[in-house]
Structure 1
Amino acid sequence: MKIAVFCGSSPGNKPYFIEAAEHFGQTMTRLGHDLVFGGGNVGLMGCVADAVLASGGKAYGVIPESLRDRELAHQGLTRLDVVKSMHERKARMADLADAFVALPGGPGTMDEIFEAWTWGQLGYHHKPCALYNVNGYYDELLSLIGKMFSSGFLKQEYADMVIVEQEPEALIARLENYQPPIQKWH
């Protein structure tokens, strides 16, 4: 599988964020999976890519011209696609990926995983979406998803689409065995 990883362009303020990103990259490679990511050399995204490459894996980056021009592109990737905009970046990553995983990150990470999840609900793809819940990072988001369900804005089968795990091995096993729900408005 090619796993799209969405995560922070910053490393966060706790060492365990970097350790988790590196461990995730090493684990995906050990289990035979490739990385699709935002193409940057900074933050957690750079850590994941470095770990994949150091472990002998393949890393496919997709970066907008404006970020490449600020010298933020990761060097030494298996392939780096340069696109015009963030919209093109997300679409290209979605085309390349067989699964989507969010590690800790900020608004961009949320945008990316929520868009992938929404597309899955609508049947635009049948790929798994997951949260790597490092040290409970996504606990409040999971509470919000529960509130969406209890308030009538989200059906249980679509809430259940989001895989949540605290260990990379368990998360990847669930990606490998994912069965999508019936698409919304079929």
Structure 2
Amino acid sequence: MEKTLYLVRHGQTLFNLQHKIQGWCDSPLTDQGIHEAQTVRRYFQFEGIRFDQAYSSTSERTSDTLELITTQPYTRLKGLKEWHFGRLEGESDVINPSLPYSDFFVAYGGEEEKAFQKRAVETCLSLMEGEAQTVLAVTHGAFCGQFRKFWDHTSKPADRLNGRSARIGNCCIFKYHYDQENFYLDDIINHEEQIKRMEG
């Protein structure tokens, strides 16, 4: 039976604004981040989208984002947490290598790329095992990126997504349909696209 997963990145945080590396460490949503999450709420309401189940990572920035999107009960899961960057957590992001990061952070006590990707995929598969037809999961930028990378072979090519393929902005929405243990990316809706669609 086909189901739908809406994977959403959290709103802008203080560390995002300060260009700091933010994985398992945390910082609060900025005013802009709050506004972005409120826009996601309005977008889902505008589209008439309701969720049978809702989840966030255990980070405060994701649970705060989810609570601005919906008032329904939700579950916090460690499996939805961001990539662990080890001793580089909280440092300036100017020390980040160029993408792809690969296993750069392992030397600093961080998470291996493939282990992180495996966690992301297994966690999202577990979300779809129950009876829920429509699922919301609020998570993180690298999580969304690694999850998408794993399912690239099943997803629409960039030209069929109208070029919405690269940037994972704050409160970006990834819409996947799920069928027989496979995810298929149907749409990417960044903050600007959410506003554009609501304004018609």
> If the TM-score is normalised by the length of the shorter chain, which range does it land in?
0.3 to 0.5
TM-score by length of 1: 0.42
Greater RCO (CA < 8 Å, at least 6 residues apart): 2
Calculate the TM-score normalised by the size of structure 2. Answer: 0.40
